[in-house]
Amino acid sequence: MIHGLGGEFTSLEVLSDRINEDFLEMPVFSLDAFNDKASAISLNDQIPTFLELVANVTELYGDITLLGFSQGGLIARAIIEMSGNPNIHTFISLSSPGAGQYGGVAFLENITDNLTADDVWKLCYNPLGQLFSGCNYWKDPEHLTLYKLMSNFLPYLNNEIDHDSADIFKENFIRLKRVQLIGGSDDGVISPWQSALFGFYDTKFNIVPMKDQKYFVEDSFGLKTLFEEGRLTQCVVTGIAHLDWISNEQVYSECIKNFLL
């Protein structure tokens, strides 16, 4: 399991304990890397370490389910797409901004004051801003050209732009046996909350669901293939605040438990 922005590996203890209670012989690991403030480092700088940690686990234990919470969901998917590790058979994306983030600027409070969502692109869409992980998946609907030009992570991960590894990313993602996307309308941090299900705003800030997104219609990185083959599912739960996803019993029982079998 991989924690989110501002979190640490111990923040997933409640979820780990629940899994251990139900699956006594299943090893559970919350990866100890880039905790707390270190989680704000560029994702491209974090991924090699997490990739190595996951490889160590699969080398010892074989097939695994990889769960990523919030920003950790993006890191987990990057590991899947970039490594092609054949032992990752299931991916659980727990309230993760898979389609990007626009809004919920509280994560920037330690960097600058009085910043609104309308202004974040000025901070993020330049080489200096890309050193901060939150900027790596900031997707401003009114500045998509700059997003694709300057963001060095999410446009590549979602194959929204042409790049040398695009085919490999798609092949590796399609290799998964199961993908579970988890989110809900009361999250309060992921914005829009539908990003957890690969929906996002259009240029007029209308929500476009996953199946109408260009990267789904064109099957840019394999979402459509997995969905049509029944290997991609969604679990929507209302009444869950962002930090509660990792400890809520209902979320675990309805959205996570069956994907650990």
Q: Which residues are CB-contacts of 110 (< 8 A; sequence separation ≥ 6)?
A: none
DSSP string, 78-145: HHHHHH--TTEEEEEEES--TT-B-S-GGGGTTT-SS--GGGHHHHHSSTTGGGBGGGGGB--TT-HH
CB 48, CB 42: distance < 8 Å? no
For the question of residue 220 being annotated catalytic, the response is no
Residue 138 pairs in a beta bridge with 101
Q: Which entry of 30, 140, 187, 195 is annotated as an active-site residue?
A: 187
Can 242 be counted among the known catalytic residues?
yes
Residue 70 appears among annotated catalytic residues: yes
The DSSP-derived string for 197-243 is GT-EE-TTS-EE-GGGSHHHHTTSSSHHHHHHTT-EEEEE-SS--GG
Catalytic residue chosen out of the listed positions 11, 30, 39, 70: 70
The DSSP 8-state label assigned to residue 177 in this structure reads S
Tell me the C-alpha distance between 75 and 67, whole Å. 10
Of the residues 93, 133, 191, 242, which is catalytic?
A: 242
- Residue 120 and residue 109 in contact, taking contact as beta carbons nearer than 8 Å: no
DSSP β-ladder status, 200-201 and 207-208: antiparallel
DSSP 158: T
3-class secondary structure, 63: coil
* Active-site amino acid positions: 70, 187, 242
